[in-house]
A and B are shown apart, each in its own frame.
Chain A
Amino acid sequence: MEPIVHVLKYDYLESHKKRVCMFVLYCSLLVAILFGSGPLDEFEKRVDQYAKLHKEIDHKVPDLKKETDPKVIVQREKEFADGIRAARPLARQGDIFIPAVQPMFREIIKQETSGEAGRKNRSMILGEGNPKGPEAETSPKIVIHGPYPSAAPLSTVPPSVLKRLPLLPESLQYRFIGRTLILWDTTGNFIVDFMADAIR
């Protein structure tokens, strides 16, 4: 009897494995169809390309070894930003926030800023730190490679929003200017790309 039980068990396990594999495959396809994994992959690919360029330019400008003089820091920031501008002369809005990925981002932000639970997130984004908020004195002009003025505050981005948006390399951050989501280069202090009406 025992070998038969063994075979039965084996068959059952094999068919169960197959069923699980098929289920996972169907789920992946469903997710891809419903949410479109393609645009996100493309977004991440373009972020990676930018990160590579960032690294290249970063190596070309002098290193700051615990710099005392803010003049040198500001000068390096400018040199770095000029390097990126020269390397991306044809950069346009939507190069990284490609049109296909924008509805996905808007949906994530909408989910995290709607209803009672999202109320705090919404006020965190649009409130005090936002350069178009009630207390801001200066606001950056939203253009590709446009500088982020040092007098303008930086919007706080809620952790739950950051948790759901695709991860960025250390050199880039998501920030908001008014309702516009920007990709901000933290080394060169400028706008890499932007997406209007990210939060409605």
Chain B
Amino acid sequence: MATDRVSSQQKSELLRGTLEMLILQTLTVQSLHGYAISQQIQRLSDGALIVEQGSLYPALERLQQNGWATSKWGESPTGRRARYYTITASGRRRLGQEIEGFDSALLAINRVLRRV
């Protein structure tokens, strides 16, 4: 939870790229609905990464606008209608690039911090 008063504008700047990368990563295994994506990210990151669940939706919209993910309405296990997101081929390529970029950035930062 964000207790510090970072403006939502800054927050989204900070998280935009990373969040999209994480979403795409969760979709590589199977199609998921929004809530499941947020749970997945929360679970895998021990709750450290998702600041507000709502920020997922603008990110999902952006992924669709770019053609990296598509969505389809389907039935959830509880029987209610839910929108399921699927990663596209270009989304996978994008994810690869993102991870590569992230790795090299992380490596560079770690070098500066003299950890490697």
A binds B: no
Please list the residues of chain B having a beta carbon within 8 angstroms of any beta carbon in chain A. Answer: none
